[in-house]
Structure 1
Amino acid sequence: MEPNIFTLPSKTTIRQPVEAPKTAAQKAARATAEEFEAVFLADILKNMSVGLDTDGPFGGGHAEEMYKGLLNEQIANSISRNGGIGLSDAVYREILKTQEAGQ
Structure 2
Amino acid sequence: MTVNGIGGPSPLKLAREAVKSTVPGEGQEFARVLEQAAKSADDKKLKGACQQMEALFLHQLLQRMRATVPKGGLFPEDNGEEIFRDMLDGELAMQMSKAGGIGLAEMLYQQLKPQK
> Normalising by structure 2, what TM-score?
0.59
Aligned partner of 2:54 among 21, 37, 41: 37
The answer to whether 1:50 aligns with 2:38 is: no
Q: Counting helix residues as a fraction of each chain, which structure ranks higher?
A: 2
Supply the distance in 2 between the matched residues of 1:60 and 1:54 (Cα, whole angstroms): 8
Q: Name which one, 1 or 2, has greater alpha-carbon Rg.
A: 1
| Larger relative contact order (Cα-Cα within 8 Å, sequence gap ≥ 6) | 1
Matched residues, number:
77
Q: Over the residues paired in the alignment, what is the CA RMSD in angstroms?
A: 2.1
Can you give the 5+ residue segments of structure 2 that lack an aligned partner in the other structure?
A: 1-40
Instruction: Tell me what 2:94 maps to.
Output: 77
- Tell me the percent identity: 28
Structure 1 unpaired stretches of 5+: 1-23
1:1-103 pair list within 5 angstroms: 25-96=42-113, 99-100=114-115
Give 2:61's aligned amino acid.
I
C-alpha distance in structure 2 between counterparts of 1:55 and 1:81, whole Å: 33
Structure 1: 4+ residue segments shifted above 6 A: none
Aligned residue identity for 1:70: M
